[in-house]
Amino acid sequence: MTVQFYSTLLEIPPQLKAQALREYRKYPRPQEGWQYLLNYLVAKTVVNWLREELGGKPSISDTPTWQFVNGVKISLEGINLVVLPDESIDRASLVIPREWVEHPDWVGDYFFAATVDIDREMVELWGFCDYSAIKQATIDYQDQNYILDRSKLSCDLNLWLSYRQFNIPLAPKVVNSVPQLASTRVNNLTDRLALTSIISPRLAIPFSDWLSLLHERRALERLGLLRQGQRVKSVTNLRDWWAGIFSSEWQEPALSYGYALRGEEEKITRLRQMMFTTEGETVQLYILVSLTKKSQQEVGVLFQLLAPPDQRLPILEVAIRDAEGNTVITTATQGNESLLKLRSFSCTSGDQFSLVLQYKNETITEEFTI
């Protein structure tokens, strides 16, 4: 590493460059893959530099958006650093995507300008500013960026290191809250942004919707996989059911099946048809989901499997798995019943789980969140 007055040069290890190129090849859209590569290189290189200079344990925010939004957030002792890579030799300004300024979970305390030279295997940190400098920036609403003139940046990274040494107070941040989207809206936006005709997802929908979508980590992961050409399922957000919001595949049992639950407690119940097609055979069944509000924070969940009228369930292996993939409930059908009731369980807000059905060599996984 070489420290100069106007910039700090950081070496990119050859093995890190090789790994970044392997990551790049996963993306069918070169533009997204290259942006991911630049963010990947900067994240790893700058974290190593911070460890050398300051010690501690800087951490990279685990975000699935490096291919969509330029910039890497690094957290160090409660401070959020946003490093913005670029390949351009034109250093007239620092371009800061609006997400890093206007989203409450993303907003940075300091913003660093970084030039990446792949051929020379170098990252050059050539300027920085704090949050207060953003009010001097102009906003490019076409590309949804803040543009901050170079004259507003500090060019000596040693100055920033001295800020940390003497615990200079952080500039206060004023960031509006971002509304949450209904799950049906999240799924619809994700499917739309996955279309091959969409060049930049963050610019293809109203920016307020994009900011709200950034709250939905699983949706962003799903969007990333879809844009890599992988097949993934949507996630059913059960908390929307309490607001009377249901996606079209979840129907009233009495209307679509002629089945109604009876019980003393008030329940929300919805039913969905599932199809297995394997070895030239098509098998149909229904998933019945019942929710019971036990308290302000706790919800009871009950899954039942139903055969079509006058039929029997096939021989199935059934499991409920938590967000880490651990099996918490497992059972199986015998092939002679028309209904299988799983053991009920309780969830609190934010919990995630999946229902996994296996018939012969085919598996169906349905994802849920509360």
| Residue 177 located in a structural domain | no
The domain that holds 276 is classified in CATH as 2.60.40
In this predicted model, what pLDDT tens digit does every residue of 58-87 receive, in sequence order? Answer: 889 766 789 999 999 999 888 899 999 999
Domain check: are 265 and 357 in the same one? yes
Say how many domains are in the chain. Answer: 3
Query: What is the C-alpha separation between 90 and 82, in angstroms, rounded?
Result: 20
Domain check: are 253 and 346 in the same one? yes
Place of tokens 């913003």: 111
In this predicted model, what pLDDT tens digit does every residue of 81-98 receive, in sequence order? Answer: 999 999 988 889 999 999
In the 3-class helix/strand/coil scheme, how is the chain assigned residue by residue? CEECCCCEEEECCHHHHHHHHHHHCCCCCHHHHHHHHHHHHHHHHHHHHHHHHHCCCCEECCCCCCCCCCCEEEEECCEEEEEEEECCCCCCEEEEECHHHHCCCCCCCEEEEEEEECCCCEEEEEEEEEHHHHHHCEEECCCCEEEEEHHHCECCHHHHHHHHHCCCCCCCCCCCCCCCCCHHHHHHHHHHHCCCCCCCHHHHCCHHHHHHHCCCHHHHHHHHHHHCCCCCCCEEECHHHHCCCCCCCCECHHHHCCCCCCCCCCCEEEEEEEEEEECCEEEEEEEEEEEEECCCCEEEEEEEEECCCCCCCCCCEEEEEECCCCEEEEEECCCCCCEEECCCEEEECCCEEEEEEEECCEEEEEEEEC
Distance of CA 67 to the CA centre of its chain: 12
| Residue 362 located in a structural domain | yes
Domain check: are 72 and 133 in the same one? yes
Mean pLDDT, the chain, whole residue set? 87
Residues 6+ apart with CB under 8 A from 122: 9, 10, 11, 12, 116
Domain check: are 109 and 12 in the same one? yes
| Residue 173 located in a structural domain | no
Domain check: are 255 and 200 in the same one? no
Please choose, from the candidates 331, 337, 333, 339, the residue with its C-alpha nearest in 3D space to the C-alpha of residue 355.
331
| Residue 61 located in a structural domain | yes
Contact 23, 36 (CB under 8 A): yes
Domain check: are 9 and 153 in the same one? yes
In this model, does residue 300 exceed pLDDT 90? yes
In this model, does residue 256 exceed pLDDT 80? no
Last residue of a domain, one of 117, 132, 165: 165
Q: Which of 50-64, 98-112, 250-264 has the lowest mean pLDDT?
A: 250-264
Q: pTM of this prediction? A: 0.68
Domain check: are 62 and 154 in the same one? yes
Domain check: are 264 and 150 in the same one? no
Region 153-182 average pLDDT: 80
| Residue 73 located in a structural domain | yes
* Residue 305 lies in domain: 235-369
Domain check: are 44 and 128 in the same one? yes
Domain check: are 364 and 255 in the same one? yes
Q: What percent of the chain has pLDDT over 70?
A: 91
Please choose, from the candidates 51, 127, 119, 137, the residue with its C-alpha nearest in 3D space to the C-alpha of residue 83.
127
| Residue 88 located in a structural domain | yes
Report for 93-102, 262-271, 352-361: range of highest mean pLDDT? 93-102
In this predicted model, what pLDDT tens digit does every residue of 7-33 receive, in sequence order? Answer: 789 999 999 999 999 989 988 899 999
Q: What is the pairing mode between strands 79-86 and 362-369?
A: unpaired
Region 227-243 average pLDDT: 80
Domain check: are 142 and 190 in the same one? no
Contact 287, 355 (CB under 8 A): yes
| Residue 175 located in a structural domain | no
Domain check: are 144 and 84 in the same one? yes
Last residue of a domain, one of 135, 165, 195: 165
| Residue 295 located in a structural domain | yes
